[in-house]
Structure 1
Amino acid sequence: MERTTRMGMSVVDAVKEIQARDSIFVAYSQVTKLPYVTCAEETYNDQAWFFAEEETLKEFGKKKLDDKILLMGMKYEKKDFPRMYGLLYAVGVNSLVWNNGSEEIEVDLDKIVRQPDLSKVEPEKRPLINATLQLSGIYFMQELRRPVKPEEHKNIRELEEELIANLRKSEFLVAMDRSEEDPAKVNIPYLKNKEGKILQPVFSDVLEYEKFARGKKLRIAKIPFVKLADIMIQQAEALVINPMGFNLILNREQLKKIIG
C-alpha cells in the first residue's frame, strides 16, 4: 500500500494543474504494460501515479527498485488524455497521485473527468468492461511477477482468491464462426499449443479480441464465465483468458474447481 503526502497544494489546485498540462508522465508496470496501480493506506482507493516531470518519475522508479518493483514511464500528450482516462476507468482505477515536481497529492479520478455513462447505450452495443477483474488481475500479476523468492511475495494467496472471485462474476467475449453453408451451425475457433493441446481463447478486452479476429469473418458473443467454463470443459483442454495486460490459462481441473 502507498501513502500520499499533502503539503500546500489543494485538490482543486491539482485538478487545474493536470487539466492545463500539455503532457503528463504516467508510471507503468513492466509486468502488465499498464499503469502501475497501488492501494492507498488512508482512503483504500486504487490509484495510478502521474508526474509533471520525467525526472521525478525516474526517481520514483528507482525507489521502487528497493522492493523489486519494475516500472517504466509513459508520456501522454494532451490529445491522448481522453484515451488515458478511459483506460484508467476500464481497469478499475478510481484515483491518482499527482506529483508536480515539488508536491504530491491524491485526487479522485471523477474530479478530473467523468466516467462515461453507458446506461443509455443499448445493452448489445455496450463495450464489455470487467473493471474489477482487470484490477484484481493487475494486483495479482504485479506481485506474482515481482522477482523475489516465493516466500517473499506479499498476500499472494489473498490476491489469487480475489482474482478467482472476480472471474466468476465476469462476462467474456467469445469469437464465433457461422457456417456459410449452414447458418444454424456455429463453431467456436480454438488454438493449439506446441504440445497439440486444444486451447479456447476468450477475451475481456475488445482490443485483445480484435487482435485475434483480425482478417477473420467472426461474430462475437458475450457469455458469463460460469456458463462459458461449463461449455469449455466439454470442448477444450484449457481456457485462455485475455484481459488487458495479462493472460490466464486455466485447465479443465482448475475450471471445475472455480465453478464448483
Structure 2
Amino acid sequence: MSIRFEGRVAIVTGAGGGLGREHALALAARGAKVVVNDLSAAERVVAEIRAAGGEAIASDASVTDFAAVQAMVAQAVDAWGRVDIVVNNAGILRDKTFAKMDLADFRLVLDVHLMGSVHCSKAVWDLMREQKYGRLVMTTSSTGLYGNFGQSNYGAAKMALVGLMQTLALEGEKYGIRVNCLAPTAHTQMTEGLMPPAVLDKLKPASVTPALLYLASEDAPTRAILCAGAGTFERAHITLTQGVHIGTGPDAPERVAQRFEAISDRAGDMVPGAGSAQGENEIRRAGGIG
C-alpha cells in the first residue's frame, strides 16, 4: 500500500517550522496541495514545496481568529475547489507551575491549542460533510494524556483535544469524516533546552510525520490516539475498568475506599465506543439490564 494524496487539499497550521513544516513538506511530496499556515514563516515553506515541484499557498491567519480561519479556508477553496485534510498543529508554550501561572497565560494556551483547533475544524466541517470526505488531525500530547510538571495549561488544552476528537469522530462518521489525534514527541523550538542534546537528536520532527501521513490518508482509522517519536509508534486508549457494584447505602463512601483496588483492576477493561458505555456498564452491574 502506498499512501498518496493526489487530488487532495490539506491545511497545516503552525507549519512555518518544526512538526508543521515536516508535515506540510511530506504531504506535498506525496501529491497534496497544501495551505501552509504560519504567522511568520509560511512563505519560506511554500518556496521549499514549490522548489521540489509541489503546489502550495501561504496563509498568515491566526488560528485564534475564526474570521481569519474562515478566510484561509475560502482561500484554499478558491485555489483548488475543496479541503480534504486539516492538520491542527499550531501551538505555543507558557510553562509555569500552577501556583505561579498567570490566568492570562492559561487562557492564551487554551485559545491557541484548543480554540484554534475548534476554529479550523468548524471552518471546514460543513464543506467536508457536503463532499462526504474529510480527515482532521488534532495534535494532542503526552502532557495532556499523562501530565507533566509545570504544564497545567498545556495539558488541559491537549486533553481537551482528545475529547473534541472523540465526539467529532462520532458525528462525522456517516459523512466520511475521520478524526484522530497525534501525540508527538519531537525536538522543536517549543522544546529547546528541555532535554539533553543526545536525546533531542533522536527526536527529529520528521520521525513523527509518518504517523501524520497515515492519519491523513484515505485509509485512516477514526478515533485513534497515535503516539510517535524517534521512529517509535504507540497507541493510547481511554479505558474503563469493569468496576464493582457497591450500591448507595450510608456506608458507600467507606466501601468505595475499601474496594478501590478492585474498582481499579484492569482485567477485562474496555475502550468504550461512546460515553454512554459508562452508564450502560453501571446499570448492568446494578442489575438493571441484561
TM-score normalised according to structure 2 size: 0.26
TM-score normalised according to structure 1 size: 0.28
Which is strand-richer, 1 or 2?
Answer: 1
Which is helix-richer, 1 or 2?
Answer: 2
